[in-house]
A = this chain, B = another copy of it.
């Protein structure tokens, strides 16, 4: 066993940390000003393009892409500490071209895309000139079971015709968002696991409409979370991803890295919340004693540190399994970190908020917005309950012989 990070991971982590500390985080104020000045919460401010240019110069670009033909070629283990840093710095993901949902889309396109699809969509994504969305969740069904997806993708001649109502399509309102990958039923009579397909839908195709963006705890900004209607949207057959009927398998493949990235970022969120908590505890005096000297506060600091360490180790273990035995072999560990990461982030951020009092809920500190994001982690890519059920069923399977 060896718990040390590789030289490359350490070097990249230091480089990224410095870039974030000296360039990205200091640019936040300007970013907000430019957005506010535009009057459009989804405005793409010029400062972001400057950050992206710098990141690229520094070799901090496409770090999430494991295939060296397309990106940095880092293992999951090596990417983890970088992704964690990004979790604590809101602008850094886009600045380094490592944002969800693009990274997931890039991975699918890299692995399953045709050369044409790669030229048309993957290359500009990797260049950072366009962005993309992933249109999976639907308002009327429990999307935790991918087989519930009800939108249709019907082959008609050389085209597919799509009718779909999707929401929580993250990034759909980003001005650079050019397409979504959409999941729908292509053959309602097939086996449940062969019923769905994924298809590329350019947002400027006739019939696609962004109905609205959905606020989260009242927050709406950046790429937003879109509600999209697709009415008789016609795209060429060449837009299908992988093969017709392969949607469920693609969804599974896509979720592995997506989930673990969420968890890495959740650890970054928790680290930042703990740092804020500690600083506040030293600054604030109540009833004549610094909060840092009060037992109840110390208890929360210790619990937070212990929880962070454990969550990080489980995430690294899952990443190592993905690197060594593949996403499928790591699926129970991925399920576990999904639960652990979400819980970690909301718990630690909430403790920090409590130390800040009402200020912790205002916009003066980043905690409320951090919590807002962290809370969504309890259901993005499947609710905690579903992940736990999978873990339990695997565990219990070994004891089926005891059943009478």
Contact = CB atoms under 8 A, between A and B. Distances in A.
A264 B23 CA distance: 45
Nearest to A372: B217
Contacts of A275: 399
Nearest to A213: B362
Contact of A282 (B3, B306, B364, B402): B402
**A interface secondary structure, majority:** helix
Interface in A281-312: 281-287, 290, 292, 294-299, 301-303, 305-306, 309-311
Interface stretch (A102-110, A155-163, A171-179, A384-392): A384-392
A33 interface: no
A326 to B, nearest CB: 15
A299 to B, nearest CB: 5
Interface residues of A, number: 98
A236 interface: no
A88 B399 CA distance: 18
B302 A363 contact: no
14 contacts: A3-B321, A144-B287, A167-B358, A216-B362, A217-B217, A217-B372, A287-B386, A292-B403, A295-B297, A303-B388, A306-B314, A309-B336, A310-B310, A354-B383
Interface of A: 1-6, 77, 137, 139, 142-145, 148, 167-168, 214-219, 225, 274-275, 278-287, 290, 292, 294-299, 301-303, 305-306, 309-311, 313-314, 316-317, 320-321, 333, 336, 339-340, 353-354, 357-359, 361-364, 368-369, 371-372, 375-376, 378-380, 383-389, 391-393, 395-396, 398-404
